[in-house]
Structure 1
Amino acid sequence: MMIEKLRNCFDEMVVYKDLKRSNFFSALSLPSFMRDWLLKKFEDENGHFDSEELVRFIRTYLPRKDDWTSIKNQVVIEHERVKFLAKVSVDIDIRTSVVSFALPDFGLTSKDTIIEDSVWQICKEDLVRGRETWGMVEIGYRPPDDYDMEFSKNKAKGANRGKIKLTAFKTFCPYTIDIDYYKDARREFTTTEWLDVLLGAVDYNASGYLGDEEKKLTMLTRLLPFVEKRLNLIELAPKGTGKSYLFGRVSRFGWLSSGGVMSRAKMFYDQNKRVEGLVSGNDFITLDEVQTISFPDVDEMRAALKGYLESGIFTVGNYEGTAEAAVILCGNIKKETMDEDGFANMFEELPSVFHESALIERFHGFIKGWNIPRMNDDLKIAGWALNSEYFCSIMHELRDDMSYRAIVDELVEVPEAADTRDTEAVKRIATAYLKLLFPQVRSADDISAREFKRYCLDRARKMRDTIKYQLGILDVEYRGKDIPAFSVRPDLEEVV
């Protein structure tokens, strides 16, 4: 019954996913948004598709990094135009007004490319939407002889070089996202049904949770940064609970960094290249397996993080920038260190950069990843579900909707002398829950006080509670300081 309702309400935005059964998709290692885009393109109304036709499309339009030399040969030597799916970033030179592009997955930088004005006028609306944009690109070659005389005079500076040119671009998302329709469609589902819809949208099988609502909700908590700007979270969980998959393979709007080195230049601003870092082009930055990440200059990174987590502003040298990306720390935790009461130091294995209370306090909430079951085949979707690419695009658009925060401000009673950071953290998390679970709410009257308290406010308080407990372990100054007793405004409470 729920599946019929889902298909009736969302029509073409529903695809048949079968991740439980081993098939050729698993061998392709495609991110969910790409896989669902392909399914939407090739599936019939019964969820069937011609695998040979799909494979031919993939071989033609989804080149591997190893194919780049062959593509360059076609474009530069054979003077052919080549079309394929890729992630594109654009650069506009302030001094010359020349527009160029980069294909980061293939190592093609903007110094070797050009977007001519005639093409730019057609494609610019799609290409300027974000730092990087997925789409169908078509590239060709502009030999040195094709340059204007103005550029030809400056051979010493390399202006008269051949360049790869963008000849066409079609956005990866060819349909218009109708937020209002999505909000109205939510009214057709109960809260319990909607939890299952959300799980399916990110490739999880709701029945695999055996009706355990708490486990479902903890799993969905990972989506809060998808829908709310600068919602900074820490998740510690046992191995194998799917952290890397959800943050790294489901949405095209985020960035997952696993291990290695993370510098201030990479994350915020590179003074040498004069390029903004990861926070400027993504909805969220997830530092996965954070215990294995090294920071070249701990003090430098700590100072940059504190400023950014507090205000969304970062300053590097004389450069000041703003961004809206959430920062999420994900790490594995030993069973003996999991502590529901908060008396064990769960952050002791984090890198030293995070061993400071002033920095930890700026993270809004904590996800108890041990409430999420270890990934198994029964938790993989096998049936009709929302297209991941469509769903994540909706989440991305909802980040700009400020009406939900106004509703939370109206609903929440803030105690006197409440700490400002606690208030902001609880309200920001509650707002994200409201967007995720109750997108149909357009005023405080559209949600019952009981539901808001149960699914939004109480969960936000608990997530902030854990941060406060850990702060008390980390720094005696915070010991014994519980978060204020936020509640639903008394005049809005229902008589039970």
Structure 2
Amino acid sequence: MNLGQTGYTPETDDANEVIYRKLREHFDGKIVRKDLTKAIKEGANVPVYVLEFLLGQYCSSDDPKIIEDGVRNVKRILTENFVRPDEAQKVLSGLRERGSYTVIDRITVSLNIKLDRYEADFSNLGVRDIPVSPDYVSKYDRLLCGGIWCIIGLDYEYIEEEKKSTPIRIVKITPIQMPHIDMDEIKNGRRAFTKDEWITVLLRSTGMEADRFNDREKWLQLARMLPLIENNFNLCELGPRSTGKSHLYKEISPNSILVSGGQTTVANLFYNMSSKTVGLVGLWDCVAFDEVAGITFKDKDGIQIMKDYMASGSFARGKEEKAASASMAFVGNINQSVDVLLKTSHLFDPFPDAMAYDTAFLDRMHCYIPGWEIPKYRPESFTNEYGFITDYLAEFMREMRKEPFGDVCDKYFRFGSNLNQRDVIAVRKIVSGFSKLLYPNGEFGKEDIEEILTFALEMRRRVKEQLKKIGGMEFYDVNFSYIDNESFEERYVSVPEQGGGKIIPEGVTNPGNVYTISQGKTGMIGVYRLETQMLPGNGKFERTGLGSDRDAKEATNTAFNYLKASGNQISASISTTTKDYITNYQDLNGIGMTKFLTLPTVIALASCALSKPTLSSLAVLGEISISGTILKVEELASILQVCLDSGAKKVLLPITSAAELGIVPADLIGAFSLIFYSTPQEAVYKALGVE
């Protein structure tokens, strides 16, 4: 992908004209000028798809006069019929005086069992328990859960004898969405556009100006559409504020619902045992959770049922199992820089603790969009050009959910050995979703699929990298790759934020510099650097970087006391009486200082005293007691994985840990030159390369 500069070029106007002509030729009546949406949207608090439904009816023309009249009509309809909450009484008064009234409002229907009838609640109008014909409920079942925006014809007739019943009657309900879409029209029309032109059309249809973003940013924003075009797709996007994370799910598609605040119940989301009705997952294509930090279930088994659903698309309630196809999107804010978060925690940290450290839950995420790569939206980020009416786009995506595209990459590529079954399912879903978005007619080449596959592997690998941080060696296989079926060439896909710079550098470091890897105060495994200087003196040992950590100070005291007692056994040149030593300890991952510092300190002091550097790219593992006893390394497999990620090529390892190597994957062991030691003296000699 080209990650070059964004913005307009001299060819932009010509390109826009070409796209516009193609849209008029192939999708006439299904497009709208997005600046009209913007202009009216700023004055009317209605979803975009409601506005564009009206604009599509009244402003589908090239004639400026017709557009001007159409905009005036739409504004008039919104003024007269759209119900603002603060003007609800005015509308009700108008309904009473006229006897009939047409309103635009969001209505939710429920079954009143006592009266055996369906009743509607009006969101803005504020009236409740208005009888609804069962015909509308069976025709538009989403009225029963969450509600939908409609144009509703109302009558008002007060009858003295029926004081207890409401005088308001619903005459007609017209959902604000397209009743039918011709898929052949879209598939044939797609042939007229290049890939880049089609991406531009898709992004403009969501209101964004594609020319203001580079290719990478365009693809990341397209990825937000995956839950709308793919069944049972689990997506996560965390990033800064004002990058439009929830915009698509709230404003653009009438087929998705945004659960704001995060608090919900199993009955609301999955199945209500008392009313025997399916919840949101059965009635919407996508259920999006805004502000993931606030997700809570009132039921204890809520997260468990969610995990079951995210894995299989079904859930058990009562005596039966229910299936649904709704995707789940989790969006929220990251309040610190990604670099800091990666050092101190993991990228799922904003989730509530019950989810953030539940590897079984996180492993069900198919895709993690790096929201921090999408720039904050500015006024110029929104388009003034033509795009599809959002409802047309939404229905296109809804219809494409029925078509499976998951195997399109098998013709050209196969997956590398590091992908397990869950990884393969996730990558196939992303490939399927993007193929349907970009090539709905199934016409694509090898390069097109390779581009999608590379992106898909990265989106899933981001999930796996965080699982490795949280769950350790269970998720060590993160080196995702794909293999060309023709050339058998294997290509690896990396994750940008992991960075290419290694913590443990190649080449020889200064004497007294030692890198050690162990568990820090937070329980996470990190890399620590020791830098030591030696000065003439009388045997003082100063330490910096430890702060008030008592365990770390005790470990370094033990190291100096060991050298005082046994330094001569290593070398007569090591003096703890005529020299002063200063050692600086650095926590390179920001996870809290480690207490396993005795052996690394002994090696650092000996290296400095003998003016001899340690071996190149060496990681020191292991610890010694005050008597010099060698202690084995805990969580060896996870620590070796961090060694690999940090750039170590040689690992100094206590012989007591040799037995543990049986549970370490062979390819991980093969990544290093392992150097064993059985005494502290031997550890010093081998670290310094002394035979």
TM over 0.5: yes
Aligned to 2:236: 234
Aligned to 1:448: 445
- Structure 2 CA distance for partners of 1:485 and 1:144, relative to 1, 3 Å: farther
Q: How big is the shift at 1:114?
A: 3.5
Q: Distance in 1 between matches of 2:201 and 2:395?
A: 16
* Cα displacement string for residues 187-211 of structure 1 (whole angstroms, at most 9, x for unaligned residues): 11111111111110000111111xx
The one-letter code sitting in structure 1 at the alignment partner of 2:41 is F
Q: Distance in 1 between matches of 2:477 and 2:90?
A: 62
Q: Distance in 2 between matches of 1:103 and 1:321?
A: 30
Q: Distance in 1 between matches of 2:161 and 2:198?
A: 57
Q: How big is the shift at 1:90?
A: 5.0
Aligned to 2:103: 84
Aligned to 1:151: none
Q: How big is the shift at 1:461?
A: 1.0
TM-score by structure 2 length?
Answer: 0.61
Aligned to 1:378: 380
* Unaligned ranges ≥5, structure 2: 1-17, 490-691
Q: Distance in 1 between matches of 2:196 and 2:418?
A: 37
Secondary structure of the residue aligned to 1:216 is helix
Q: How big is the shift at 1:134?
A: 3.8
Aligned residues with identical type, % of pairs: 25
CA contact 1:337–1:344 (8 Å) conserved in 2 = no
CA contact 1:101–1:115 (8 Å) conserved in 2 = no
- Structure 2 CA distance for partners of 1:124 and 1:31, relative to 1, 3 Å: closer
2:136 pairs with 1:135: no
Greater relative contact order (Cα 8 A, min sep 6): structure 1 or 2?
1
Q: Distance in 1 between matches of 2:380 and 2:77?
A: 30
The one-letter code sitting in structure 2 at the alignment partner of 1:198 is L
Q: Distance in 1 between matches of 2:190 and 2:483?
A: 26
The structure where helix makes up a greater share of residues is: 1
2:209 pairs with 1:205: yes
2:466 pairs with 1:470: yes
Q: How big is the shift at 1:289?
A: 1.7
Q: How big is the shift at 1:307?
A: 0.9
Q: How big is the shift at 1:177?
A: 0.8
Secondary structure of the residue aligned to 2:450 is helix
The one-letter code sitting in structure 1 at the alignment partner of 2:219 is L
What is the aligned counterpart of 1:399 among 374, 379, 401?
401
Q: How big is the shift at 1:434?
A: 0.6
Range with bigger deviation, 409-418 or 432-441: 409-418
2:272 pairs with 1:254: no
Q: How big is the shift at 1:108?
A: 5.0
Aligned to 1:312: 313
Q: How big is the shift at 1:225?
A: 0.8
* Cα displacement string for residues 355-410 of structure 1 (whole angstroms, at most 9, x for unaligned residues): 200000011111011221110122111122221121112111211223x2354566
- Structure 2 CA distance for partners of 1:38 and 1:19, relative to 1, 3 Å: closer
Secondary structure of the residue aligned to 2:34 is strand
> After the TM superposition, which residues 188-227 of structure 1 pair with which residues of structure 2 at under 5 Å, given as runs?
188-209=192-213, 212-227=214-229
Secondary structure of the residue aligned to 2:375 is coil
* Cα displacement string for residues 390-437 of structure 1 (whole angstroms, at most 9, x for unaligned residues): 1112111211223x2354566653567952211211111110001111
Q: Distance in 2 between matches of 1:339 and 1:490?
A: 42
- Structure 2 CA distance for partners of 1:378 and 1:114, relative to 1, 3 Å: closer
Aligned to 1:49: 68
CA contact 2:149–2:175 (8 Å) conserved in 1 = yes
- Structure 2 CA distance for partners of 1:72 and 1:334, relative to 1, 3 Å: closer
CA contact 1:143–1:163 (8 Å) conserved in 2 = yes
- Structure 2 CA distance for partners of 1:138 and 1:471, relative to 1, 3 Å: same
- Structure 2 CA distance for partners of 1:235 and 1:108, relative to 1, 3 Å: same
Q: How big is the shift at 1:100?
A: 4.7
Number of paired residues?
Answer: 465
Q: Distance in 2 between matches of 1:107 and 1:308?
A: 35
> After the TM superposition, which residues 260-409 of structure 1 pair with which residues of structure 2 at under 5 Å, given as runs?
261-272=263-274, 274-297=276-299, 299-318=300-319, 320-338=321-339, 345-354=346-355, 355-402=357-404, 404-405=405-406, 407=408
Q: How big is the shift at 1:2?
A: 2.0
Q: Distance in 2 between matches of 1:422 and 1:64?
A: 47
Aligned to 1:113: 131
Q: Distance in 2 between matches of 1:175 and 1:283?
A: 16
- Structure 2 CA distance for partners of 1:192 and 1:163, relative to 1, 3 Å: same
Q: Distance in 2 between matches of 1:142 and 1:254?
A: 36
2:75 pairs with 1:59: no
CA contact 1:343–1:469 (8 Å) conserved in 2 = no
2:246 pairs with 1:244: yes
Secondary structure of the residue aligned to 1:5 is helix
CA contact 1:464–1:483 (8 Å) conserved in 2 = no
Q: Distance in 2 between matches of 1:107 and 1:427?
A: 46
Q: Distance in 2 between matches of 1:258 and 1:275?
A: 22
CA contact 2:130–2:170 (8 Å) conserved in 1 = no
Secondary structure of the residue aligned to 2:406 is helix
Secondary structure of the residue aligned to 1:259 is coil
- Structure 2 CA distance for partners of 1:173 and 1:291, relative to 1, 3 Å: closer
CA contact 1:136–1:170 (8 Å) conserved in 2 = yes
Aligned to 2:47: 31
Range with bigger deviation, 479-488 or 247-256: 479-488
* Unaligned ranges ≥5, structure 1: 148-157
Q: Distance in 2 between matches of 1:80 and 1:225?
A: 44
TM-score by structure 1 length?
Answer: 0.82
* Cα displacement string for residues 221-275 of structure 1 (whole angstroms, at most 9, x for unaligned residues): 1011111111101111112111122221111111112325233333223445554
